[in-house]
Amino acid sequence: MVKSWFNKILPSLGKQHKEEKKSPVPQGLWQTCSNCKEILYGPDLEANMYVCPNCGHHIRIGARHRISYLIDHDEYKEISSELKTKDWLSFTDTKKYKERLSDAKTNIDETEALISVHGKLNDKDVVLSVFEFRFLGGSMGSVVGQKFVDAVEFAIEKSCPFICVATSGGARMQESLFSLFQMSRTSAALNKLKSKKLPFISVLTDPIYGGVAASLAMLGDINIAEPKAQVGFAGPRVIEDTVRVKLPEGFQRSEFLLKHGMIDMIVQRSHMKDKISGLISKLHTG
Amino acid sequence: MAYTYLEFEKPISDLENKIESLRDNKDNDESVHQEISSLSDKIENLTKEIYEGLSIWQKVQVARHPHRPHFSDYIENIFTDFDELHGDRLFGDDQAIIGGLAKFKGNPVVIIGHEKGKSTEDKISRNFGMSQPEGYRKASRLMKLAEDFSLPIITFIDTPGAYPGIESEERGMSEAIAKNLSIMSGLKVPIIVIITGEGGSGGALAIGVGDHISMLQYSIYSVASPEACASIVWRDNSKAQEAAEAMKLDAKNLLDFGLIDNVIDEPLGGAHRDTKKASSLIAKEIDDNLKRLKEIGIDELIEKRYQKIMSYGSIQK
Ligand SMILES: [Zn+2]
């Protein structure tokens, strides 16, 4: 068992990933905050980790940015980066799934909606998986599930903590039941991690819905959310259509989740790395 | 409830009506008897023909047939001495999921399943088989009970999906489903899963992780209901038929993909035409696999289950 996954990730281990960051936010010297409408100076915004200096709004950022904010010197080795989807269903809606995949690859220059890496966080060995929302809405198909499981297995092998930063629309419709079963797959892997007494820190970022919320994202030993992240099982539109009442203010936001006992804490982006580091130092003393 | 026929069952219903009117006929002579018998043969052949050629969308309709047997029917016909156990010990008792202790061929088991309800009143109290978090938490409580007393678990899946509501979110629907997936992957007793009608999304999977997964011949199982998939992918929920075809959500396709372990044949014309027969076919499936799974040591059983869960994926080798 251990051997089979190890062989799978071995080829990519030698590859050191350190490239220029592709900006997930609109480029240009001046940008408008989507929340307070303040016009912001691009370099200031970048220096502030894409948190609006005026209102504190946490702007959505891409996976590589996330990694650079959490991993020391942005130096890491990628796990299972070469995996490719096999479109067993030959799924076609208004467009072929295969085309959707290749378009996403071209547009954002990532191969899938999850990146798994091994690196250091404040000098501690960690394995980190980060969802890329711009890749088909961060949806979880077979490759995302596999990369997640490989990352967990790698953390078990290295006996180090596992962190996941999630942002996802949910399961990937185009893989139907293959995709649904990634929920049980990722959850089973996390159950194994727990049996090895290795901590899983789940970081919830805007937005997380459906199959990703209802599996790996809510299974953290510690669940941490960024401020005002929207996290839920069913989307607000679906709920409104079902119950036919207006949803309360702040519904499914981090603060709502905290109030209802679903997360441990809300942490600002700028404090996230140190907070995770502190938690790990208490849960993982080995 | 008046008997409802699906659109494609109309030719069958026409013949059945003919027989009815012949039976009503007072002069009950030999020729009438003969005609009835020949019509009955015709019905059998026609039903066979229609059901052998069902499209995926027609199978969706059979899976949702108003007369399709429910979990409560299977409890009655497959098990004895059922003691329903209520409540999640945290908030409430969700009637969209039923569970409890029962005997299967004389041996105690824990059974858990979705129940859509029969009468209008019953349907409403069971929320049409759409559970809130309490239902999944009741299920996990009963699974733990099964583990504590070394009883095998058999689950029956028939739900359009988990209930999308404000309270569901407040009480942590995501956490309730996720927790079940995690628990079931490591539970130290055999788990047999049978999809009997609709296997809709995470709401189905939340009681669907196990050692042996079977589907009734005309049941369906998918990442989202055809309507939800159509609304997400096509942005048009009238495209449900296209979505169903694209998701290849019928038992035969899913068996070919290796996502389920077996298809249980249904009686001629679907389970709704013969609940007793359907029940006995399911009972045989449970019996065969319980015997097999009980032979496997617990550590090996859990390792095999883990490998099974890990095997699901559509990845280029
Ligand atoms: Zn702002």
A177 and A237: one domain? yes
Assess whether A55 and A74 both reside in one domain.
Answer: no
CA of A59 to the centre of ligand 1 (A): 9
Q: Is A111 in the same domain as A166?
A: yes
Take residue B75 and report the two structure tokens written for it.
């409890």
Cross-chain residue pair A191–B223, CB shorter than 8 Å: no
CB atoms within 10 A of CB B106: 7
- A146 and A256 co-located in one domain: yes
Q: Is B258 on the interface with A (CB under 8 A)?
A: no
Arithmetic mean of pLDDT, A206-210: 98
B76: its two tokens: 């009655």
CATH number, domain containing residue A229:
3.90.226.10
Residues whose CB is less than 8 angstroms from the CB of residue A144 and which lie 6 or more positions away in sequence, other chains included: A112, A113, A114, A131, A172, A182
**Cα distance between residue B291 and residue B153, in whole Å:** 13
Q: Residue B222 and residue A92: Cβ atoms within 8 Å? A: no
Shortest Cα distance from B267 to chain A (angstroms)?
A: 26
Q: How many domains does chain A have?
A: 2
pLDDT tens digits, residue range A252-283? 999 999 999 999 999 999 999 999 999 999 99
- One domain for residues A108 and A177: yes
Shared domain for A258 and A122, answered yes or no, is yes
Is the bond leading into A207 cis (omega within 30 degrees of zero)? yes
* pLDDT for the residue A24: 60
Query: Under CATH, what is the fold of the domain B60-310?
Result: 2-enoyl-CoA Hydratase; Chain A, domain 1 (3.90.226)
The two three-digit tokens of residue A204, written as one number: 């919830």
- Is any Cβ of chain A less than 8 angstroms from the Cβ of B299? no
The predicted structure's pLDDT at residue A130: 98
CB < 8 Å to A177, chain B:
221-223, 247, 249, 254, 257, 259
How far is residue B311's CA from residue B259's CA, in Å, rounded to a whole number? 9
Query: Are residues A160 and A26 part of one domain?
Result: no
Contact (Cβ atoms closer than 8 angstroms) between residue A190 and residue A216: yes
Residue type, B13: S
Residue % of chain A over a pLDDT of 90: 84
B290 touches B96 (CB < 8 A): no
Gap from A25 CA to chain B (nearest CA, Å)? 25
Residues 6+ apart with CB under 8 A from A217: A164, A166, A168, A202, A204, A208, A223, A231, B174, B178
Q: How far is the CA of B194 from the centre of ligand 1 (A)?
A: 51
pTM, 2 dp: 0.94
Name the minimum distance, in Å, from the CA of B208 to any CA of chain A. 9
DSSP string, A88-113: TT--BSSSBHHHHHHHHHHHH--SSS
Residues B261 and B194: their CA atoms lie apart, in Å, by: 10
Chain A touched by B261 (CB under 8 Å): no
Residues in Cβ contact with B253 at an 8 Å cutoff, skipping those fewer than 6 apart: B56
> For chain B (length 317 residues), average pLDDT per consecutive 10?
85 92 78 89 94 96 97 98 98 98 98 96 96 98 98 98 96 98 98 98 98 98 95 91 97 97 97 97 98 97 98 90
- Smallest Cβ–Cβ distance between B315 and the set A143, A210, A233 belongs to A143
Q: Is B138 or A6 the better-scoring residue by pLDDT?
A: B138
Query: A11-25, A139-153, A259-273, B221-235: which has the minimum mean pLDDT?
Result: A11-25
As a whole number of angstroms, the distance between CA A286 and CA A82 comes to: 32
Structure confidence by residue, pLDDT tens digits, A44-62: 999 999 999 999 999 999 9
Decide if B222 and A86 are in contact by the 8 Å CB cutoff. no
Angle at A217 between CA A211 and CA A223, to 5 degrees: 155
CA distance A228 to chain B (A): 16
How far CA A204 is from CA of A128, A169, A228, A269, B77, in Å, comes to 13, 13, 10, 11, 46
Residues A128, A39 share a domain: no
Half-sphere exposure of residue A2: CA atoms within 13 angstroms, side-chain side: 6
Give the count of beta carbons closer than 10 Å to the beta carbon of residue B317: 4
Q: How many CB atoms lie within 10 A of CB A70?
A: 24
User: First CA to last CA across chain B, in angstroms?
Assistant: 53
Is A211 a residue whose pLDDT tops 90? Answer: yes
pLDDT interval class at A2 (50, 70, 90)? very low
Please tell me the distance between residue A268's alpha carbon and the centre of ligand 1 in angstroms: 14
Which residue(s) pair with A79 in the sheet?
A: A116
Flag whether pLDDT at A14 surpasses 60.
Answer: no
Per the CB < 8 A criterion, the answer to whether B155 and B191 are in contact is: yes
pLDDT for residue A19: 40
Determine the distance in angstroms separating the CA of A43 from the nearest CA of chain B, rounded to an integer: 36
> For residue A72, how far is the Cα from the chain centroid?
18
Q: Are residues A85 and A13 in the same domain?
A: no
Cβ within 8 Å, pair A93-B313: no
Q: Is A175 in the same domain as A66?
A: yes
- Residue B210's closest CA among B225, B228, B192, B235? B192
Helix axes B240-247, A176-195, angle to 10 degrees: 60
**pLDDT tops 60 at residue A23:** no
Determine the distance separating the centroid of ligand 1 and the alpha carbon of A250, expressed in angstroms. 17
Q: Which residues of chain A lie closer than 8 angstroms to B314, CB-CB?
A: 85-89, 141-142, 175, 178
**The pLDDT of residue B3:** 81
Separation of CA A36 and ligand 1 centre (Å): 4
Contact assessment for residue A164 and residue A63, using Cβ atoms and an 8 Å cutoff:
no
**Tokens 């997380």 belong to which residue?**
A208
Boundary residue ending a domain (A20, A41, A59): A59
- Tell which residue, A107, A113, A199, has the closest CA to residue A152: A199
Name the 3-class secondary structure at B75. Answer: helix
The beta-carbon neighbor of A142 closest among B170, B233, B315 is B315
Tell me how far the alpha carbon of residue B36 is from its chain's centroid: 34
**DSSP structure class, residue B268:** T
The beta strands (E) that lie in chain A are given as 16-17, 30-32, 39-41, 76-79, 114-121, 124-131, 162-168, 200-208, 222-225, 265-266
CB distance from B139 to chain A under 8 Å? no
Do residues A226 and A253 share a domain? Answer: yes
If asked whether residues A93 and A149 sit together in one domain, one would say: yes
The residues near A189 (Cβ < 8 Å, ≥ 6 apart) are A148, A149, A152, A153, B310
Query: What is the distance between the alpha carbons of residues A15 and B122, in angstroms, rounded to a whole number?
Result: 60
Given A13, A34, A59, which residue is the final one in a domain? A59
Asked if pLDDT for residue A13 goes beyond 60, the answer is no
Q: With both helix axes pointing from N to C terminus, report the angle between B173-186 and B298-310 in degrees, rounded to the nearest 10.
A: 130
Check A146 against B182: CB less than 8 A apart.
no
Residue whose token pair is 């839920």: A232
Asked if B202 lies within 8 A of A91 by C-beta distance, the reply is no
Q: Which amino acid is at B274?
A: D
Q: Mean of the per-residue pLDDT values for chain A?
A: 91
Contacts of B268 (CB under 8 A, 6+ apart): B44, B47, B48, B51, B274
What domain range includes position A40? 1-59
Q: How many residues does chain B have?
A: 317
Question: DSSP secondary-structure letter at B158?
Answer: E
Q: Could you write out the DSSP letters of every residue in A130-157?
A: EE-TTTGGG-B-HHHHHHHHHHHHHHHH
What pLDDT does A25 receive? 59
> What number is the average pLDDT over the span A180-185?
98
From chain A, pick out residues whose CB is under 8 angstroms from the CB of B308.
none
Q: What is the pLDDT at residue A27?
A: 64
State ipTM.
Answer: 0.96
| DSSP per position, B237-258 | GGGHHHHHHHHT-BHHHHHHTT
As a whole number of angstroms, the distance between CA A139 and CA B75 comes to 38
Please give the Cα distance from A170 to A172 (Å, whole number). Answer: 6
d(CA B230, CA B239): 5
